[in-house]
Amino acid sequence: MTASEPERTAPLAAQDLIHLGENDLLIRAQSGDDLAYGALVLKLEPPVRRFVRRLIGPSWAEDDIVQDVFMSLLQHLGRVDSSHGVRPYVFRIARNRCYDELRRQGRYETVSIEDEPSDEGGTVASLEAPGSQPDDAAHWLMLHLEVREAMDRLPEPQRQALILFADEELSYAEIAEVLGTNIGTVKSRLFHAKRTLRRLLRPETVSAIETGLRDGV
């Protein structure tokens, strides 16, 4: 083994790999464990597919983009810094592939916005209500759909930052890596996204969400 080669880890059975975290699987995959790479793909495919669908909408290209993301990951596995996590890397690839597809379809439009500096760390809380009773399901579904529709009307940089933060639960640093920007810009985009959402949503929707989150429903 040369100094540039990752240290090999003892192989685990497939049923044991599913209990490992993404970074542990990444390290094993980088050492040549094919089963670990397969388990990593199984963990990452649902969020990557969800992100692609949010960026390009329903499209036959979705499967090709997702497949391309993981082919690229496999080809450049050694370049991924496990200390930074694998999600920023795959989401950045997915974002670039989505842009390629939108350009091919003639749907891509470069959006330029001014990210006003702000010290306010306003963030958008997740809209899921894990403690909701079945009777509340339809109510929360309607709220969720209304919020998603409003999110899709945001300027693209704000929308992408908000999707990665609220839907995919990435940290500020991870979002910055995906979007190729800095943490301050990410915070600013999230702040303006939240402010714009409040303007787009009906007052009763905002009130219902805030009440639900405060009461822990």
Q: Which amino acid is at 164?
A: L
pLDDT tens digits, one per residue of 46-77: 999 999 998 888 888 999 999 999 999 999 99
174-163-78 Cα angle (round to 5): 35
Identify the weakest region by mean pLDDT among 52-61, 123-132, 138-147: 123-132
Cα distance between residue 92 and residue 100, in whole Å: 13
More confident residue, 82 or 9: 82
Contact 161, 190 (CB under 8 A): yes
Which of 167, 205, 1 is CA-nearest to residue 91? 167
Task: Please state, rounded to an integer, the average pLDDT across all residues of the chain.
Answer: 77
Q: Retrieve residue 161's tokens.
A: 């930052």
CB 127 within 8 A of CB 146: no
Give this prediction's pTM: 0.68
The CA distance from 72 to 201, in Å, is 39
Q: Give residue-wise pLDDT tens across range 108-126.
A: 554 333 344 333 333 333 4
In 3D, which of 93, 87, 94, 96 has the Cα closest to residue 174? 87
Show the domains of the chain with their CATH numbers.
Answer: 14-105 (1.10.1740.10), 134-215 (1.10.10.10)
